[in-house]
C-alpha cells in the first residue's frame, strides 16, 4: 500500500478548502479539506454570488438534482447579498430533510472540486466533537469519491463501521455524547440515504480511515476497539495548531496560564510501531528537519498545517493572511495555548493578533450569541428530551439551560463565528456589527518565519518543495 509522505492538515472552517487540497493532491501528497460546517460554507458562498461559478458547477454533478435545485433556489443570490447571510438551520438529533440535503451536497461539492481533473489523493477531516452533522457529512464526501477520512478531537471508535455502512448505501447511527444523561440512556443520530434520496443510489467506494490520536493509549484503543479496521494513525502532539488534547491527569497551568504537558503526554513511537500500522507525526513537524526526524522514528511521514494555512491557496482571506505573515516575519506575535477559549473544553492555540477576538478589547466588545451552533453540547432535560447549549453563548441563556455558572464566567470564544470570519464570510448583524476572526497556528512560529523569509507570497507547491526538498522556487524577477 502506497502512502503519502505529507498530509496537509484539515484546518478551521474552509481554511483547508478545495483549492488548497486540490493543489496538494496534484503534487501527489494527501490534500485534505476541512469538513467542519460545510453546510454553512456552501450556503454563504452561494449567497456571495458564487464567484467563478464553482459551487454551481459542482452541484450540476450532484447525483440528486432535485435537491441541488432546492439548494440553489434557497441560497444562490446573483451578485451576492453583501454578507447579510440567511440563517442555516441548526443541527439537532432529528435533522430535517432540507438540512441533511444541504449537508450532503456541501460535502459532495467540496470533495468533488478538490478531486476534479486529477487522480491525486484527497481526504476530509472531521471533528469528533462536532457530532450532529457527522453522518450526512460523511455520506456527501463518499458520493464524490473521497479517498481518506480523518477524524480528530475525540475518540472516533464508531467511524470505521459507519464508513462501511454508508459506503454500502445503508442507514447508519452514531452514539451521541449527552450531558446529564443516565448511564442507562442511549442517544443516537441516524442517517438513511435511501429515505432521503430514494433507492436509486450510486455505488460508492470505502475510503481509508485515519484517526488523529495524541497518546499510545488512544492509539492502542483505536486499533483494538474500533468498529472496524483502521488504515493508519496520525499522532498529533500538543504543539499542533487548533484544538489540542488536554494533558493527561489533572489540568495544571503554568505562570503564563497555559496547560502544562509532561512525560505522560509524550508518545513512544517504538510502541506505536508495534501496532503494525503506518503512522504520521503532527505538531511542529512541518519542516525538512521535522520530516527527516519523523522518518527516522519509523513514521510514514508527517502532517503539516500552519505552513499551508499561510500559503495563498488557503481559505484565510488575503488581507488577514498578509497581516499574519507580517507579524510572523517581524517576530511581533506569539501563540498562546488557551485552556478556556474553546467551548469543547479542549485547549486551543490562539495567535495573538490585533483586531481579532484574541485581543481582549475585541473579545469583550462582542455581543454573545449562539446563532450557528456547531459546537453546541446536547444535554438531557428533566422530561427526557434533548436540548442544546454552548458555554460561549449568552451567560444568562447558558445558565438557564443548566450550564455551569463557573464555566460561563470563563473566556469562551464563539469559534463558529470567528472561524467563518477568518475565511472572509463573517456574520453581519442588524446593528452594523461584524464578527471578527480568530487565527490559530502551531506553537513554533520560528519555523514559519524561516518559510516566509524565503518567500512572502508562496503556494501550496512551495510548501511541499520546502518540506520535501528543503528548497522553494525563487521569486519571479521583475
Distances (CA, A) of 64 to 44, 101, 127, 439: 21, 9, 26, 36
C-beta of residue 337 within 8 angstroms of C-beta of residue 238: yes
Q: Considering its fold, how many domains does the chain have in total? A: 1
- Please write the tens of the pLDDT for every residue from 331-344: 888 888 888 888 88
Q: Does 231 fall in a domain?
A: yes
Q: Does 142 fall in a domain?
A: yes
Q: Does 398 fall in a domain?
A: no
C-beta of residue 91 within 8 angstroms of C-beta of residue 374: yes
Q: Does 83 fall in a domain?
A: yes
pLDDT value for 476? 54
Q: Residue 471 pLDDT more than 70?
A: no
Q: Does 170 fall in a domain?
A: yes
C-beta of residue 438 within 8 angstroms of C-beta of residue 413: yes
Cell of 255: 505562570
284: confidence class by pLDDT, cuts 50, 70, 90: confident
- Please write the tens of the pLDDT for every residue from 217-269: 999 999 999 999 999 999 988 877 788 888 887 888 888 778 888 878 888 99
Segment of 203-212, 325-334, 379-388 carrying the highest mean pLDDT: 203-212
pLDDT value for 478? 46
Q: Does 404 fall in a domain?
A: no
C-beta of residue 333 within 8 angstroms of C-beta of residue 326: no
Q: Does 60 fall in a domain?
A: yes
- Residue-wise over 342-377: b if at least 16 C-beta within 10 A, else e? bbbbbbbbbbebeebbbeeebbeebebebebbbbbb
CATH number at residue 245: 3.20.20
Kindly report the average pLDDT of the chain as a whole number: 91
- Please write the tens of the pLDDT for every residue from 360-389: 899 888 888 889 999 999 999 989 899 999
Q: Does 387 fall in a domain?
A: no
C-beta of residue 260 within 8 angstroms of C-beta of residue 254: yes
- Please write the tens of the pLDDT for every residue from 41-84: 999 999 999 999 999 999 999 999 999 999 999 999 999 888 78
pTM here is 0.94
Write out the residue range of the structural domain in which residue 311 sits: 6-316+453-469
Amino acid at each position: 500500500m502506497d502512502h503519502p509522505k505529507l498530509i496537509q492538515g484539515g484546518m478551521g472552517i474552509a481554511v483547508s478548502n478545495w483549492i488548497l487540497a486540490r493543489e496538494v493532491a496534484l503534487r501527489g501528497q494527501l490534500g485534505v479539506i476541512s469538513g467542519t460546517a460545510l453546510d454553512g460554507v456552501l450556503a454563504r458562498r452561494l449567497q456571495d454570488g458564487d464567484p467563478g461559478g464553482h459551487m454551481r458547477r459542482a452541484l450540476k454533478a450532484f447525483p440528486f438534482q432535485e435537491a441541488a435545485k432546492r439548494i440553489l433556489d434557497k441560497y444562490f443570490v446573483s451578485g451576492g447579498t453583501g454578507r447579510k447571510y440567511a440563517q442555516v438551520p441548526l443541527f439537532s438529533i432529528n435533522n430535517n430533510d432540507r438540512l441533511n440535503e444541504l449537508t450532503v451536497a456541501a460535502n459532495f461539492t467540496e470533495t468533488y472540486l478538490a478531486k476534479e481533473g486529477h487522480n491525486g489523493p484527497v481526504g476530509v477531516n472531521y471533528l469528533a466533537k462536532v457530532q450532529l452533522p457527522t453522518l450526512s457529512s460523511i455520506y456527501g464526501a463518499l458520493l464524490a469519491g473521497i479517498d481518506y477520512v480523518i477524524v480528530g478531537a475525540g475518540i472516533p471508535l464508531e467511524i470505521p463501521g459507519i464508513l462501511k455502512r454508508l459506503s454500502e448505501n445503508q442507514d447508519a447511527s452514531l452514539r451521541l455524547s449527552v450531558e446529564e444523561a443516565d448511564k442507562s440512556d442511549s442517544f443516537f443520530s441516524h442517517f438513511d440515504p435511501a429515505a432521503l434520496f430514494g433507492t436509486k443510489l450510486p455505488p460508492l467506494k470505502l475510503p481509508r480511515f485515519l484517526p488523529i490520536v495524541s497518546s499510545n493509549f488512544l492509539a492502542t484503543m483505536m486499533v483494538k476497539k474500533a468498529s472496524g479496521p483502521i488504515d493508519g494513525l496520525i499522532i498529533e502532539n500538543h504543539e499542533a495548531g487548533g484544538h489540542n488534547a488536554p494533558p493527561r491527569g489533572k489540568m495544571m497551568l503554568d505562570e503564563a496560564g497555559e496547560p502544562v504537558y509532561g512525560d505522560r503526554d509524550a508518545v513512544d513511537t517504538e510502541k506505536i510501531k508495534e501496532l503494525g500500522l503506518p503512522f504520521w507525526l503532527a505538531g511542529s513537524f512541518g519542516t525538512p528537519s521535522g520530516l527527516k526526524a519523523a522518518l527516522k522514528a519509523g513514521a510514514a511521514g508527517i502532517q503539516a498545517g500552519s505552513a499551508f494555512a499561510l500559503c495563498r491557496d488557503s481559505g484565510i482571506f488575503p488581507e488577514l493572511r498578509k497581516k499574519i505573515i507580517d507579524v510572523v516575519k517581524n517576530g511581533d506575535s506569539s501563540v498562546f495555548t488557551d485552556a478556556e477559549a474553546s467551548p469543547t473544553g479542549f485547549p486551543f492555540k490562539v495567535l495573538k493578533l490585533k483586531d481579532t477576538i484574541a485581543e481582549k478589547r475585541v473579545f469583550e466588545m462582542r455581543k454573545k450569541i449562539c446563532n450557528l451552533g456547531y459546537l453546541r453540547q446536547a444535554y438531557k432535560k428533566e422530561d427526557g428530551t434533548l436540548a442544546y447549549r454552548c458555554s460561549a453563548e449568552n451567560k444568562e441563556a447558558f445558565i438557564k439551560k443548566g450550564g455551569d455558572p463557573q464555566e460561563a464566567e470563563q473566556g469562551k470564544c464563539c469559534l463558529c463565528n470567528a472561524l467563518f470570519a477568518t475565511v472572509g464570510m463573517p456574520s453581519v448583524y442588524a446593528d452594523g456589527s461584524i464578527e471578527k476572526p480568530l487565527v490559530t497556528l502551531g506553537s513554533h512560529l520560528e519555523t514559519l518565519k524561516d518559510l516566509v523569509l524565503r518567500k512572502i507570497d508562496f503556494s501550496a507547491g512551495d510548501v511541499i518543495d520546502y518540506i520535501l526538498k528543503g528548497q522553494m522556487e525563487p521569486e519571479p524577477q521583475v
